Amino acid sequence: MKFTLAWLKSHLDTTASLDEIAAKLTAIGLEVEGIEDRAAIFAPFIVAEVKKAEQHPNADKLRVCEVFTGTETIQVVCGAPNARAGMKGIFAPAGSTVPGTQLLLKATTIRGVASNGMLCSEREMGLTDEHTGIIDLPLDTPVGMPMAKVFGLDDPVIEIKLTPNRGDCLGVRGIARDLAAAGLGTLKPYAVPNVKGSFKSAIGVTLDFPAGAENACPIFAGRYIRGVKNGPSPAWLQQRLKAIGLRPISALVDVTNFFTYDLGRPLHVFDAAKVKGNITARLAKNGEKLLALDGKDYTLDDSITVIADENGPEGLGGVMGGEHTGCSFETTDVFLESAWFDPVRTAATGRKLGIHSDARHRFERIVDPAFVVNGAEVGTQMILDLCGGEASEIVLAGKAPDWKKTVTLRPSRLLGLVGFDLPVTEQTRILESLGFTVTKQGDLLSVDVPSWRPDIDGEADLVEEIARQHGFDAIPAEPLPPLRAVPAPAVNAGQRRVRVARRALAARGLTEAVTYSFIHHAEAEVFGGGQEELRLVNPISADMDTMRPSILPGLIAAAKRNMDRGQMDVALFEIGPQYASVAMDGQSIVATGLRRGATGARHWRDRPRNVDGYDAKADALAALSAAGIDTAPLMVMDGAPGWYHPGRSGTLRLGPKTVLASFGELHPRVLQKLDIKGPVVAFEVWLDRIPASRGKAGVRTKPALKLSELQAVERDFAFIVDQAVPAETLLKAVRGSEKALIARASVFDIFAGAGIPEGKKSLAISVRLEPQQQTLTDAEIEAVAKKIVAAAEKACGATLRA
């Protein structure tokens, strides 16, 4: 919302400075977005009189002028054909920047004659495109007067950002009222004229809405004004409109735009000669068309309110008038419309047709429903003032929608809700100056809401009005009372798992990424997603049209981008949501990571190798371990999802059914589809599948630690097994063969080839025996070894390597 300082002062009697007004506007919630002080731009340029204008001795088309600025006489060389002695124009001194050309003027010599400034055209001043001669002012214009003042440009333009609840401040008067209530002056009285009609309007108005849609346009006031003379509007009106960025069109149209901004009351003028028959406000018929004032054709439907005559729609109610019945300089008879349109329908129409007009902007934020007839009155009066003519009686159809509201206010709520108090008298004063009617009822205030404040409907709204007008600076900053001296933890077990897993993965050299929750549907399909219910109806682009079923495609795309920048070794992870469905439980938190390329750059000491599935396994285990899982009993099984290499991937399970993690090399076909060069390994850890720890919350004491004093024994075994036998099978058998003694069994060598039969491999296992009762004798050790060998053979046909 834009307005000028003078415009504001036409409603507000104030001595406050521009800065004070701006500060107060922001303080009461009418946030100042910008102030354009045009007087400052035009400050160097003043009215000057041309005392002499003589032919330039060396140039036919130039004149040497002596220009009097009120304080001095300056010689300038001027090429304008209209430069002549005795005229008054605008002088730009050397050293100033000409606004229209943005050129810095310098004192110079033109064909041997000194020139110390310039007499300017309207184009050079940035006023119009006029450049046939220099500005030729009326001879009574005082010499030395600032140019901005002459052209009415000394009026600063203020732009405020309005919140959508404040339709009342889409008129300058509403802003003035708010400022007055905040103590920045007094609101000037506003007398609505009562223009006597001298005849009956030739155009009648009916409202014709189906049941249920009556509120589309419940009231319509019109007035026929005949014998007007349309033409350019007066300078003051043009200047105001131009100042706020509107193009003056003609007096009749400018009047309607003026009231749109002055009182927040949109009006419309029809050229009465072009209206056929009477006017009806009704819903459009499907397929009806209208050429609107913006020059565009719109096809309408039955959700849209139109103002129609016998020819059909002539305007979009509350949005825009029609071209056909628009006013021109030839208009002599005019029909003025002041109506009220339903905010919801107006907004929907505007959205549907893509029209953002000043009228729509106001009607969808609710125009004062009690000012409809008054709107017709003020519009008529100004038309008569500017264009002459004779007004009919008012044609009125329907009645204003019910807007009356009374809200009860407990004055104590100010302190209770906002934290500072004001006397009841001051609370009352603020409300009354905003237009509320306040009646004291015991300890309560009964507050009638004015017609222009539909946003007020409860006690809290009134508290806000009082608080904001008094100023939020008065709100004290108080600490929240502590619930206890040392606060309880802020995160629950699940949130803690996420936080620790994140740090653990980063500590393994992975870098945390945050990628978009939506990806290309084709990529989603590769990862088991892409179902219809997860496709956005209105995506930003096809690349981001589907909620991700896995974080991996996003990380793969990120890896590719890094590779394109020459970063070939990539180690990224992300802990975030992925989506299996739109249901609440369709979203899960997954720690996902990816390694691509080598383990590092070439290095004299740490020879890099290509990443492999075991790196991914280690990452997954680290994440699980950090999340509080004892990883030793986890089952390592196959069954990773289809985007992993079937022979080089696995799952980590808590029991055979609960898959906590998948890991491994990515499937070569997936790499092909996503167009990334391997090796790429990945892991996915479902953090929210980790069961909550049993028992009571809080500290869990650790089980007692039994440390044996007795000598531990290490024994090595080399087993020959079939190539296909998983190491885990053998290790499990070994560990289980004598649980009381075997503290650890681990693989320290794997070998296949010379000396090992075809299709077999050798697994070398180190077993640590930790006796608890007494030191082991050789015989006892031998007995355990036998058990181990027997168990290995039973579990997977393992034989001791000769």
Structure tokens at 458: 């409860």
Does residue 28 touch another protein according to CB under 8 A? yes
User: Does the footprint of another protein cover residue 540 (CB under 8 A)?
Assistant: yes
Q: Decide: is 347 part of the binding site for another protein (CB under 8 A).
A: yes
- Within residues 388-417, the interface with another protein by CB under 8 A covers 415-417
- Residue 177 binding another protein, by CB under 8 A: no
- Within its chain, how far is the Cα of 396 from the centroid? 42
> Which listed residue (138, 212, 479, 656) binds another protein by CB under 8 A?
479
Among 461, 525, 738, 793, binds another protein (CB under 8 A): 461
Task: Confirm or reject binding of residue 341 to another protein (CB under 8 A).
Answer: no
d(CA 417, CA 459): 10
* Binding residue (CB under 8 A) for another protein from 9, 499, 715, 732: 499
- State the nearest-atom distance from the C-beta of 648 to another protein, in Å: 23
- Which position among 339, 378, 571, 788 is part of the footprint of another protein (CB under 8 A)? 571
State the Cα–Cα distance between residues 734 and 491, nearest whole angstrom: 42
Query: Which residue's CB is nearer to another protein, number 69 or number 625?
Result: 625
Q: Which two three-digit tokens encode residue 29?
A: 């919630």
Going by the DSSP 8-state scheme, the letter that residue 169 receives in this structure is G
- Report in angstroms how near the CB of residue 655 gets to another protein at its nearest: 27
Tokens 């155009």 belong to residue? 203
Residues 399, 403, 408, CA angle at the centre, nearest 5°?
Answer: 155
Q: How far is the CB of 467 from another protein (least distance, A)?
A: 6
Asked if 514 touches another protein (CB under 8 A), the answer is yes
Q: With CB under 8 A as the contact rule, which of the stretches 39-47, 603-611, 633-641, 706-714 interacts with another protein?
A: 603-611
Residue 719 binds another protein, judged by CB under 8 A? no
Supply the minimum distance, in Å, between the C-beta of residue 313 and another protein. 23
Amino acid at 411: P
C-beta closer to another protein: residue 285 or 508: 508
Cα 180 to Cα 24: distance, rounded to the nearest angstrom: 10
**Residue 518 contacts another protein per CB under 8 A:** yes
Residue 482 near another protein by CB under 8 A: yes
Q: What is the DSSP letter of 544?
A: G
Q: Does 493 bind another protein (CB under 8 A)?
A: no
Q: Which of residues 315, 321, 322, 343 is near another protein by CB under 8 A?
A: 343
User: Applying CB under 8 A, does 748 fall inside the site for another protein?
Assistant: no
- Segment interacting with another protein, rule: CB under 8 A, options 228-236, 324-332, 455-463, 660-668: 455-463
The residue from 97, 495, 708, 777 that contacts another protein (CB under 8 A) is: 495
Structure tokens at 236: 């003051």
Q: Which residues, numbered 79-108, are part of the site for another protein (CB under 8 A)? A: none
Q: Would you say 345 or 735 has its CB closer to another protein?
A: 345
User: Can you tell me the distance from the alpha carbon of 72 to that of 66, in angstroms, rounded to the nearest whole number?
Assistant: 10
472 is a contact residue toward another protein (CB under 8 A)? yes
CA separation for the pair 661, 685 (Å, rounded): 4
Q: Which of residues 44-73 bind another protein (CB under 8 A)?
A: none
CB 334 within 8 A of CB 269: yes
Q: Which residues of 646-666 are buried (b: 16+ CB within 10 A; e: fewer)?
A: eebbbbbbbeeeebbbbbbbb
**Rule CB under 8 A: is residue 364 a binding residue for another protein?**
yes
For the purposes of burial, counting CB atoms within 10 Å of the CB of 635, is it exposed (0-12), middle (13-18) or buried (19 or more)? middle
d(CA 787, CA 715): 13
163 vs 775, beta carbon nearer another protein: 163
Which long-range CB contacts under 8 A does 214-217 form with residues at least 24 apart? 215/342, 215/401, 216/281, 216/283, 216/305, 216/317, 216/341, 216/342, 216/345, 217/281, 217/305, 217/317, 217/318, 217/339, 217/340, 217/341, 217/342, 217/398
Q: Which of residues 126-165 bind another protein (CB under 8 A)?
A: 163-165
**Smallest separation (angstroms) from another protein to the CB of 417:** 6
Contact window for another protein (CB under 8 A) among 140-148, 510-518, 642-650, 652-660? 510-518
**If we measure between CA atoms, which residue out of 49, 88, 90, 81 comes closest to residue 66?**
49
Binding-site size for another protein (CB under 8 A) equals: 99
**Residues 250 and 369: beta-carbon distance below 8 Å:** no
- Asked if 333 contacts 388 with a C-beta cutoff of 8 angstroms, the reply is no
Stretch that binds another protein, among 295-303, 390-398, 604-612, 747-755 (CB under 8 A): 604-612
Site string for another protein, 655-684 (x = CB under 8 A): ------------------------------
